[in-house]
Amino acid sequence: MAKKNTTHEQVGQTRALLKQAHQLIKSAQRPLLICHISPDGDAVGSMVGLGRVLRQMGLAPTLACSDSIPDTLSFIPGSDEIVSQVDAPFDLVIALDSSDMERLGQFPKSPGFADVPLLNIDHHLTNLNFGDVNLVDPQASSTAEIVLRLLGAFGAPLDADTATALLTGIVGDTRCFRTNNVSPQVLEAALRLMKAGASLPYVSLHALDSRPTAAVRLWGAALSQLQIEDHVIWTSIPLAVRQETGYTGTGDASLVSFLISAEDADAAAVFVERDDGRIDVGLRAKPGFDVAQVALQFGGGGHALAAGCTLPGPLDEAQARLLAVLKTSLVKQRAKRET
């Protein structure tokens, strides 16, 4: 009974939030849509999908991201309209797929940002609710799924390009409906998008099964340095190795999602040395474990099974610090499970 009440409350709360988000958007004319740095398919797909519908509603949105959009995401219709500098005035900010303000890059420091309402649309467990309205649902598979709900609240018609953008977010964040947050609602959302003209084979081919050849070389170099200890599997990508392989993207080219497939691993980590000397860490956990709490301790965030953070260099120190905390956390998590 208690559970049922909670569910009703959540649904009521979500409806109220959707209404508040709708109100904010209705009173805006020039919204600024921004997504997180090192953008992925959900960041770009949810932003472009929402931007297209806002434009169809007669608004003049600007779409921006601090980092450039990787070539692998250029198949998302309208992703070429995303800018990295904002000159135009705006009367509302909509943050997408970002758990905190730091992940929004330089925009929170730009003039006018603090003077307009901020709508925060996200699904990270670790979201800091930094908006005036926080349309945040950690149960959602992706930010794109929440955007689809919002478009439902508008009664907005979906065209094939909007549907393709949003399906990219869902497919990317669920690794094509394979993560443990995939519910019948997620499949229903995907069904709606396919009926609106999105192609699942096309989206999954581009979003998951296509990468620069240099990324494959990067995997090779990183896999040759693989280590496993105390049920944690990890590897590092020093700057020099990244340069040798010719990989120009940020992050680990999704290697960490592959590492966690190792049967002996409860958690996986990949340490990537950035151009500025800081270390990006990608973390994954097997179901039943939680790496978001570890990422959060280092100022990062994410979901229980997929999280990340950025540590100061040098590489070996960052690695030692994070692995110590991760291993201790896993020991505690195992002990808790056994009680």
**Residue 145, binding choice from Mn ion, ligand AMP, none, Cβ under 5 to 8 Å by partner class:** none
Count residues binding ligand AMP (CB under 6 A). 15
CA distance 161 to 147: 14
Give, as ranges, the residues between 32 and 51 that touch Mn ion (CB under 5 A).
40, 42-43
Over the window 209 to 228, marking each residue x when it contacts Mn ion by CB under 5 A and - when it does not, the resulting string is: --------------------
284 forms beta bridges with 268, 306
**Residue 301, binding choice from ligand AMP, Mn ion, none, Cβ under 5 to 8 Å by partner class:** ligand AMP
Q: Does 103 participate in binding ligand AMP (rule CB under 6 A)?
A: yes
H or E element that contains 125:
none
Closest approach of ligand AMP to the CB of residue 309, in Å: 5
Member of 148, 190, 222, 256 binding ligand AMP (CB under 6 A): 256
Closer to ligand AMP by CB, 131 or 251: give it: 251
CA 282 to chain CA centroid, Å, is 12
CA distance 232 to 67: 31
AA letter at 23? Q
Give, as ranges, the residues between 285 and 314 that touch ligand AMP (CB under 6 A).
300-303, 306-310
Member of 173, 266, 273, 290 binding Mn ion (CB under 5 A): 173
Closest approach of Mn ion to the CB of residue 99, in Å: 9
Burial of 120 (0-12, 13-18, 19+ CB in 10 A): buried
Member of 282, 289, 311, 322 binding ligand AMP (CB under 6 A): 282
Residues 141, 147, 149, 152, CA torsion sign: negative
**CA nearest neighbour of 177 among 307, 169, 290:** 169
Give, as ranges, the residues between 102 and 161 that touch Mn ion (CB under 5 A).
142-143
Closest approach of Mn ion to the CB of residue 271, in Å: 19
- Would you call 31 helix, strand, or coil by DSSP? strand
Give, as ranges, the residues between 115 and 134 that touch ligand AMP (CB under 6 A).
124
> Which residue number is nearest to Mn ion in terms of Cβ?
42
Residues 6+ apart with CB under 8 A from 313: 273, 277, 278, 279
**Per-residue DSSP letters for 63-88?**
EE-SSPPPGGGTTSTTGGG-BSS--S
User: Interface residues with ligand AMP (CB under 6 A)?
Assistant: 99, 103, 124, 251, 256, 282, 300-303, 306-310
User: Interface residues with Mn ion (CB under 5 A)?
Assistant: 40, 42-43, 97, 142-143, 173
